[in-house]
Amino acid sequence: MDKDPTSFFGRWWRYLHERFPLHQHGPLIVVFSFCAVSFSSARRGAGWPDPAAVAVAAVSSLCFFLQLRIADEFKDAAEDRRWRPYRPVPRGLVSLRGLAMLFAISAALQLALALWWSPLQVIVLLIAWAYLAAMSFEFGCREWLNARPVTYLLSHMLIMPIVDFYGTACDWAVTSGRPPSGLVAFLGASFATGLVIELGRKIRSPEREEEGVRTYSVLWGPRRAVAWWWVCVAFAALLGCLAAYEADVLAPTAAILIAGAGLALLMAWRFARAPVGDAGKRIELAAGLWTLLIYATLGLVPQL
């Protein structure tokens, strides 16, 4: 439902619609969170996860990803003023001060949930916050990282397994008090899936490129960029299969993920053959569908 863009809540509704659309991110974050809690629960041999644990993980993860978006608004403020004046902050829809307040509110909600859930959860939260803070300040070497796009990508995508680890802690922090075995491959699959998402949203056809926007299709060329995107899909599938092996559900998981990777390969081939029009949007959509597939698979199959 549209809201009056001149009202306080209307402006923030519009901001979320443009920069953090809940109808797109919400389902992904719920599946992501369910997967983290469910996989940890399955590795402990405890069966289906506690719904309260899933809820804590989902709300906390939503806050994490909102905080990442807000951090980007601050990091990109100067570039947005110069190259992207249509975005909410440079055009005056919301202010950086208002975004800082929203960041603080989301962090307070995370802390309240962690304190309510388990003291150990607070420790994991502080670890995640520490990495997020380091990312927000580009690890103190912004120019160095900007000159090395691959290093920039890899260093920033480490936040994905960290947030996923926080999600698993919503299970084990209140039960065994320590992470179950077999999480390394699972967290690796989360890292690789983060690469799939990040590459997928920055691959465009040449006529859809914008001046001042650094995309991987500009950096590497559209065909090479989509090839690397699919390599990341395959890497995520491999690590997902290793995680499934640890959970004794390799065969069904491999069948699902290989089929998904095959469809992703078809999408990549179609883009490489004709990188025109909205072909890049289809890669971004495929990245989102892959994310739903791998997390739903790793969350559900070990429980069946």
User: Could you give the angle at which helices 51-75 and 119-136 cross, rounded to 10 degrees?
Assistant: 20
Q: Please provide the DSSP assignment of 63-107 as one string.
A: HHHHHHHHHHHHHTHHHHHHH-TTSTTTTTSS-HHHHHHHHHHHH
170, 256, 267, 302 from 241: Cα distances, Å: 23, 10, 22, 12
- pTM across the whole model: 0.92
Which residue, 69, 49, 240, 281, is CA-closest to 156? Answer: 69
Q: What are phi and psi of 92, to 5 degrees?
A: 90, 10
Say which residues have a Cβ less than 8 Å from residue 260's Cβ, sequence separation at least 6. Answer: 233, 237, 289, 290, 293, 294
Residue 5 confidence (pLDDT): 62
pLDDT at res. 13? 93
Long-range CB pairs of 107-110 (<8 Å, 24+ gap) are 107/63, 107/67, 109/59, 109/63, 110/59, 110/60, 110/63, 110/64
* Distance of alpha carbon 54 from alpha carbon 35, whole angstroms: 9
pLDDT under 50: residue ranges of the chain: 1-2
Q: How does DSSP classify residue 7?
A: S
- On whether the CB atoms of residues 19 and 88 are closer than 8 A, the answer is yes
CB 236 within 8 A of CB 189: yes
Q: Is the separation of the CB atoms in 281 and 207 below 8 Å?
A: no
Give, rounded to a whole angstrom, the gap between the first and last alpha carbons of the chain. Answer: 38
pLDDT reported for residue 274 = 93
- pLDDT of 1 reads 44
Say how far apart CA 277 and CA 144 lie, in whole Å.
Answer: 34
The answer to whether the CB of 253 falls within 8 A of the CB of 240 is yes
Share of the chain above pLDDT 90, in %: 84
